[in-house]
Amino acid sequence: MKHTRRLRVAVIGAGASGVMAYVKLKQHGHDDVQLFDKGDDFGGTWRDNTYPGLACDVPSHLYRYSFEPYAEWSRVCSSGPEILSYFKAVAGKHEVGRATEFGVEVLGAEFLEGCWYLETSKGPRGPFDAVVSAMGILRFPLYPDIAGRDAFAGASFHASRWDHSVALAGKRVGVIGTGSTAIQIVSATVDTVGELKMFQRTAQWIMPLPNKAIPEETKQRYRSDRAALEMEYARLADAFNGRFAAAVVGDNPEAYDRIARQCREHLATVRDPDLRARLTPDYEVGCKRLIMSDSFYEAIQRRNATLVTERIERIMPEGVLTSEGRLHALDVIVFATGYDAHTFVAPMEVRGRDGLSLAEAWADAAEAYLGVTVPGFPNWFMIGGPNSPIGNFSFIMTAERQFGYALALIDRLADDLREVSPTPEATKRFNEAIKAKMPDTIWVSGCRSWYMDRNGNIASWPWNYERFEAEMREPDLDHFEIVRQ
């Protein structure tokens, strides 16, 4: 694709969305692209997370790039190492490493005289005509606010910073948390450890998703028949995006009822009535991110496994003290307590037109236009910005749709525009529409989840996925402030 002007584009982050952005930019004729990543390799969250049982809970044949189908997935939902290998292979195939600076953290970005200038841990970089933030939201581990957290005499670490020097065999292990990560760790380690205690503050709804091995004959069919591979991608997209997404935003009550029934029937497989009662959530199915597992309920019923539902009073050198005065003696504590999913760009300081900081613009709430652009920040594009579809979706598919939208604007910057940013009016209308629609979703039905920011705002997409795809097809330039060349 030929353009009238050669752009310099910075991409912050070399995880799944950063690699995708580079490939798409090159395909559109943008050959002066620089990626920055504070890590030492590609992969983002799949590089950083290495805990036992790590897997994606979106089927492998949906959790991949549309432009790089892959016939070799080993299971319905592949392991973290297998997914990381896929992303690194794609990066290698497209020679993304030639344009990537690893070990470089972007500390600040400032828009001056029509260009972006970056301040990094290795010095200034720029100018750039456009910046793509592909940093992801699963970057900063959240630790629980528990008294004495640092007093424990044994080994303790966050699940996303797993300490592989600590042997678990025969040990007394405590897992604090009950989200997807905790469920995977419990399922993967219960038969190795001596004793496992899972400390639950909030019960979770769990959808049974059998993670079967993909037969060799199926792989061979996909190898020889690209159309069959694409049909499977489309089938899974319809199941996850067309049905599940519509169900949780109130557009498909029949699908929602089926999902809720499956979760309740799965919970009924827990044999002990007391344990089953303690594993039963007090909120509606889907209010929190739905967990996919066909192994956790069996794991937590093992003889060496205990579900602890009493409130944690404090952590002692010997273990965890709960509110009824019992000390749970432990050798290892794992904090499976998630991430701060609302940082978006922090701690990087971003300043747009006239010195406006993004932190100031987002003082009350992180708001963007269609999750991609922000008023006052020309030529700044986000993948996974505020109110992007998050949760039980293929983020790879979401990222591709969002970057396709951003790329249409970047192409215009290379042709006839010099600056583009959404109007405050269009952004206000969009965010008001979000607030008006959010009460129809299951997310506001009475629970607190990581979808909520510190002010109680839900940061996900409140409409069905079809609308998201329609909005992402082509930017409406009437909704943007434009400076022409």
Give the tens place of pLDDT for each residue, 106-126.
Answer: 999 999 999 999 999 999 999
Per the DSSP assignment, residues forming a β-bridge with 183 are none
Give the global pTM.
Answer: 0.95
Average pLDDT per consecutive 10 residues, the chain (485 residues; last block may be shorter): 92 98 98 97 97 94 96 96 98 98 98 97 98 91 94 97 98 97 98 98 94 96 97 93 86 93 98 98 94 96 98 98 97 95 87 94 92 98 93 87 98 97 98 95 90 85 94 97 93
> Do 149-211+225-335 and 9-140+340-484 fall under one CATH topology?
yes
Per the DSSP assignment, residues forming a β-bridge with 357 are 351
What is the CATH class of 9-140+340-484?
A: alpha beta
Tens-place pLDDT, residues 300-314: 999 999 999 999 999
What confidence score (pLDDT) does residue 159 get? 97
Tens-place pLDDT, residues 448-460: 888 888 788 888 9
The CATH code belonging to domain 149-211+225-335 is 3.50.50.60
The tokens describing 142, both together, are 């959240």
Strand-strand pairing, 106-112 and 312-315? unpaired
For the chain, give every domain's residue range: 9-140+340-484, 149-211+225-335
Q: Report which of 102, 112, 59 is spatially closest to residue 82, judged by C-alpha positions.
A: 59
